[in-house]
Amino acid sequence: MATIACLGWGSLVWNPDGLPIQGPWLQDGPTVCVEFLRQSNNGRITLVLDGSSAPVQSYWAMIDTHDIAEAVAALRRREGIPIKSQKGIGIWRAGDPPPRLIPALSDWANGKRLDAVIWTNLGPRFGGKEKVPTVEEVIAYLNSLTGQKRQDAEEYVLNAPVETAYRRKIIEDWKPT
C-alpha cells in the first residue's frame, strides 16, 4: 500500500475540485520553481514549473488512495489533462532521483515517509505556443480580458498561495475590476 502525496502551488490548493485529498493542504512542501507563465484554455494565466524562476515553498496533501495509477488519473481529471496523454503529470517514486525543477523532492519525501509524490507538470505556454511570456505580455493579456474570463483570471492571481516576481508585478500594474 503506497503512501502518496500531491504537490500544489496554484488553484489545487484553494479548489481541489474533486481531487481526493485527505485533510488540509500543508504549507511545508519542497521548494519549487514556478511562475505565472501558462495561458490556460479557460483564459487564466497559471503557475507552472520553470527553471528560471525563483524557488517558492509548495503545498502538499495526502491523496486518498494507495494506488499510484488511480492518484495520477484523479489529478489528470482535475487538471483536464487527457488520460491518454503521457505528459502533464509528474511522478516521483521512492528511490527515484529528484526531478530537475524540484531538486529537494527526494529528501523531503523520504523525510515524510512517502512512497510516491505527484504534481501537475505543465510548462509555459502563451499565445498558443510553448514560450515563456514576459511579465509585460502577461499584464497586457490580463488587461485585455473581459467578463467571466477576467473574473476567473483575477481569482487565480489573487488566490495563488505563493508569491512570485510576476505576481508582485501583476498586482502592482494590473487593474483588476
Does the pTM of the predicted model rise above 0.75? yes
Q: Around Cβ 19, how many Cβ atoms within 10 Å? A: 18
Q: Which residues contact 10 (CB under 8 A, 6 or more apart)?
A: 34, 46, 47, 120, 156, 160, 161, 162
Q: How many CB atoms neighbour CB 84 within 10 A?
A: 6
- Does 177 score more than 90 pLDDT? no
Where is pLDDT greater, at 132 or 175?
132
Query: Residue 88 corresponds to which cell in the numbers above?
Result: 502533464
Per-residue pLDDT of 1-22, as tens digits, reads 789 999 999 999 999 999 999 9
Look at residues 28, 86, 20 and name the one whose alpha carbon lies nearest to residue 56: 28
Percentage of the chain beyond pLDDT 70 is: 97
Q: Is the pLDDT of residue 86 over 80?
A: no
Q: What is the pLDDT of residue 176?
A: 64
Per-residue pLDDT, 87: 82
Q: What is the mean pLDDT of the chain?
A: 93
pLDDT tens digits along 19-66: 999 999 999 999 999 999 999 988 899 999 999 999 999 999 999 999
Whether 85 shows a pLDDT value over 70: the answer reads no
Q: What is the model's pLDDT at position 60?
A: 98
- Upper half-sphere CA count for residue 175 (Cβ side, 13 Å): 4
- CB-based contact 38:122 (threshold 8 Å): yes
Q: Which comes out higher in pLDDT, residue 157 or 174?
A: 157
The cell for 168 is 508582485
